[in-house]
Amino acid sequence: MGCSAWRADEAPVRVRPRLSRRSRSDTGAVALEFALVVPIFLLLVFGTIQFGIYFWAAQGGSTAAREAARRAAVGDFPTCAAFRSDIKSRIDSLGDEATAVISRSYQKGPGNVDSAVEVGDVVTVSVTFRTPTMNFPIVPFLEDGIVTESADARVENVPTTTVETC
């Protein structure tokens, strides 16, 4: 007979893989794990996107304020209306430019005593605007989505027209 214990008149024994029986009983656990993990994962994904949008707008606001201070320092846009219009066009893609608050002020430089703006004074430009939001209610938002950036520059050129403080 040899080593074979199988006889022709007996039906072969089928061994069911343990994995198939286990996967059938684990389907509920997998669904539960999926339901618990997906909201946390989506919160992380949307939070990362929302913070990325905020920091992108903050960087753009900083660039707009720096550019505005540079232009004010060389005497471009002496009127407030032209100055604000130019800055609003720069922050148009970054957020809500319609409600943006843009200010320009001058501080006296060392040795300057005249009440008008002089070379050597310091111009400060401040830009405040609301960034776009995904309106995802659970994700916290920095500074309530409001970006405030400012920049200083030394006045290098004073135009012949009167420079307004906005």
Position 29, amino acid: A
Instruction: Please name which of 129, 113, 125, 111 lies closest in space to residue 165, comparing C-alpha atoms.
Output: 125
pTM confidence score: 0.72
26-56 confidence digits (pLDDT tens)? 778 888 899 999 999 998 998 899 899 999 9
Dist CA 40 CA 137 (whole Å): 14
51-102 confidence digits (pLDDT tens)? 999 999 999 999 999 999 999 899 888 788 888 988 998 888 888 888 899 9
Average pLDDT over residues 119-148: 86
Question: Residue 4 has what pLDDT?
Answer: 56
Tokens 């059938």 correspond to 24
Whether residue 54 contacts residue 148, with contact meaning beta carbons closer than 8 Å, is answered with: no
Confidence check: pLDDT of 5 > 80: no
